[in-house]
Amino acid sequence: MKPGLPFRIVLAKDSKRKIQAAVAYAANLASRFPTDSFQATKLLLAIPCDGASEQQAAPFIDRASVLHGTNVVPAPNNRAACTYQRGNANNTVYSVEELVGVQLFDRPPIWNPDWSHPRLLANTKVLTPISTSARAAHLMDFQTDAEL
């Protein structure tokens, strides 16, 4: 495992330990390189950063600036969205939408583990709470009739 490379957690018999180790590793990277990790970026989604509504967005912008140690500035091209401006030599600018997109891309889709295309649901079962034994018998009869 290296910083910046995505990794998968394989669920096995000892998966509880693996998940805790992965979370600890990510927390360790975030504490060692705080300027390279972006927490709470979803707070700035759809928050306008232009001058007209800056008072409304001030708490979110202050919190994001403190958490990341970067400047939160209005997006270029006269968009009202927020961007992070890094204080490095080339003043790299990252949009909030870009960062959230990268975070979501790292997560595998739940509906399809082989990453090809989403499968359509062929059979769906709706589970309802059973209140009486007569209701349970009715549901069991309905299920066996539907499977025939």
Q: Are residues 101 and 56 in the same domain?
A: yes
Q: Are residues 24 and 57 in the same domain?
A: no
Whether residue 138 is contained in a domain is answered as: no
Amino acid found at 65: S
Q: Are residues 4 and 51 in the same domain?
A: no
Tally of domains within the chain: 2
Q: Are residues 28 and 55 in the same domain?
A: no
**In terms of residue numbers, what domain contains 97?**
38-110
Residue that is written with structure tokens 């390279």 in the block: 36
Q: Taking the model in full, what pTM does it have?
A: 0.48
Residue that is written with structure tokens 């927490």 in the block: 39
Number of residues in the chain = 148
Q: Are residues 28 and 45 in the same domain?
A: no
Q: Give tens-digit pLDDT for 34-56.
A: 666 776 677 777 777 776 666 77
Residue that is written with structure tokens 């499977």 in the block: 147
Output the tens digit of pLDDT for each of the chain's 148 residues.
Answer: 566 666 666 666 655 565 666 667 766 776 777 666 776 677 777 777 776 666 777 787 777 777 666 778 788 776 777 888 776 667 778 888 888 777 666 555 555 555 554 454 455 555 555 556 666 676 667 555 555 4
Q: Are residues 47 and 87 in the same domain?
A: yes
3-state SS, residue 2? coil
